[in-house]
Structure 1
Amino acid sequence: MTQLPIFGQPPDRPAEKPAGDRAVTLQVLVTVKAAPNPSEKYGETVCVAGLSTDPERPGWVRLYPINFRELGRDASFKKYDIVSVEAVPARQDSRRESWRPRMPTLKVTNHLKDWARRRRWLDPAITEITMCRLHRGATMDSQSLGLIRPKRITALRITRHPGWSSSQQAKIDDYVKQITLFGNEDRTPLRAPRFAGTYHYECQEPTCRGHKQGFIDWEFVAFQLLRLGGLNDTAACEHLERRFLHKMCAPDRDVAFYVGNVAAHPRTFSVLGVYYPPRLASVSR
């Protein structure tokens, strides 16, 4: 079993990507698996993010693109796994944390099963920078991933997902045609989720007027597909609110949000996932 050091707070300003396209080996504690989106080339792609466990390369890491349905058993991984993977700087994505993984090289080296082990890494990573400050300072070179502590969560608004756009559906259709023509694989096209969610909250900034950010965690989508299929809309929304608001964001949890922005719109942030260990009596507010 790998001995894990205690990690400090990630730097507020991400390091520049190395020059050239030489692959480097990244060690990443996976904390985020975003909901899959249509891709013409890959069928569907997922953005994965996490915290570097390499003291020589501290900070947050974004790995994209990844198609989980095409991964073999040896390359499959889940949240709070620690993975080793070769990756090259993502040149089409100017965000400094973004890398293109070489998926055949990916190996799971550890898993942090309980909250106590996760807290050693992630509690120090909860930034003192507020969501308001992240938004104000957002540029192509600034921090695009973070773990922030909300001051007050006011709602999780759940609405009907509008379905794929015409361009997204065209990507799915083109990929399915490629499979039929070349691969003869039985591949179910990516389904749009039934519901979309938006967290409403206030950050720790004294003058915060509130944030409304889309919730794009894969867990939110998977819960709909696996657990709510037989329920009507009202009952399904109640189950989603119960799990992702009343349970995960309960008063007895030390809640923080994994947040990330959009490459083309640096000031547009989403909630990528929820960090919700049991509250510690000694944690000050």
Structure 2
Amino acid sequence: MNDRRLTPANGRVAATGLRGQIQAERFVDGVLQQVIDAPFLHREPRGSRDRQLLWGDAFRVYDQGNDWVFGQSLKDGYVGYVHHPLTEPQTLTHRVDVRTTWAYPVAGFKQPALHELHFNSFVCVVDHDGKWAQISVAGGELIAAHRAFVPVAHLAPIADRRVDPVAVAAQFLGTPYVWAGNSGFGIDCSGLVQAACHACGVPCPGDSDLQEAALGETVPEGTQAQSGDLFFWRGHVAMAVDSETMIHANAHHMSVSYEPISDAILRIEEQGDGPVTRHARINWDKP
């Protein structure tokens, strides 16, 4: 059975590659677009939120009607509806390397900010003076001038990858827990793990059950945790900081927080969500 989260089809249209596998009125190649802002990906138009996209994410559009577009995120294969303008693809040069930064209309911080940019967002830098980077903004729906300025210190070249996933996760410490969130304004358990993985160059699905099936190697029960290990439960994932502590976005604290591993295992089981279903170890040096 196809997983609807990863299957680019909605009954009316489907990706050309699915011809002969599923039924649809039309099979199309889709049109590659680029995300601006940080829109949520919905299961249905005006339906529940499944995940959140970030500025610069590639999104292949298969169907469009009214104010909604249906398509697939290229970074993790997630499928859904976006209620937000998309733009023609630009050549992206840098990614945001802090939890959240702001784009300004001029190279200075005293003017009202135009828009926020979150960690792992991608931008097209066209010039910089060592302190401020000028970015090109395709489409004028959000930023009419088609350009904005971001602190150079908040950006990193796309080719530069982080080496410590725990340090990435720690950047989100205190960030509110938001179901399906992937941003510095709100993030969930799988969003936090995906942020760390993508920053370190590790391909990573969007949801915790998909991550459990895809990431790392299983280590035997009772194995002492190492930094960067992942613990999975039914519907939840956390990352080990060291042998005794983990970091996770969770609804218990309603934020990204540290918690003793043993306490969390006991608490989660006592609240009815079961035991750890998998302890995984990723080779972060060779993703």
TM-score with structure 1 setting the length: 0.25
TM-score with structure 2 setting the length: 0.25
- Structure with bigger helix share is 1
Higher relative contact order (CA 8 A, sep 6+): 1
